[in-house]
């Protein structure tokens, strides 16, 4: 996943927060973990806060914090909260008067809409707790015994 992709930033942040669910992380701390600018992180995570997925605490020790357990969150909810689809829905082109584009759109629109709906349904079935467990499992295997 690209590091500057909004969905990638959101998922990285959520999974980093899952490592210490009772604590919070500042945008600067997340920036160091994710490799993205703190302002990008704040803009991206604002949608998660509005959706009730994250909350913020002000003051000393404040920052971003999970508002819900990861087991209650799925990839579709995250995608929807930040408005960044993994697979884009069909869109109209810039030249609606072009007969070639009209023919291609007519041929592809139904298939693209079906593919997007199928993916959305699959994303609803992938909870973030499962992904976090996979990350933890892989992390445990990368630590070599001393």
pLDDT, residue 4, reads: 45
| In contact, 77 and 86? CB cutoff 8 Å | no
Residue 20: phi, psi to the nearest 5?
Answer: -140, 75
Q: Where residue 145 falls among pLDDT bands split at 50, 70, 90?
A: low
Q: How far apart are CA 37 and CA 103, in angstroms?
A: 42
Percent of the chain with pLDDT strictly greater than 70: 90
pLDDT, residue 35, reads: 87
Domains of the chain by start residue, with CATH = 6-142 (1.10.10.10)
| In contact, 38 and 27? CB cutoff 8 Å | yes
pLDDT, residue 52, reads: 96
> pTM surpassing 0.75?
yes
């Amino acid at each position: 996943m690209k590091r500057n992709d909004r969905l990638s930033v959101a998922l990285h942040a959520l999974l980093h927060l899952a490592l210490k669910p009772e604590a919070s992380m500042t945008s600067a701390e997340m920036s160091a973990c994710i490799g993205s600018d703190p302002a990008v992180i704040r803009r991206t995570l604002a949608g998660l806060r509005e959706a009730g997925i994250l909350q913020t605490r002000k003051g000393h020790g404040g920052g971003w914090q999970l508002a819900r357990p990861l087991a209650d969150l799925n990839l579709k909810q995250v995608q929807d909260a930040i408005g960044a689809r993994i697979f884009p829905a069909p869109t109209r082109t810039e030249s609606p008067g072009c007969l070639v584009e009209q023919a291609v759109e007519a041929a592809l629109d139904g298939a693209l809409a079906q593919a997007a709906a199928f993916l959305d349904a699959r994303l609803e079935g992938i909870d973030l707790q499962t992904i976090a467990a996979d990350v933890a499992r892989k992390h445990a295997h990368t630590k070599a015994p001393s």
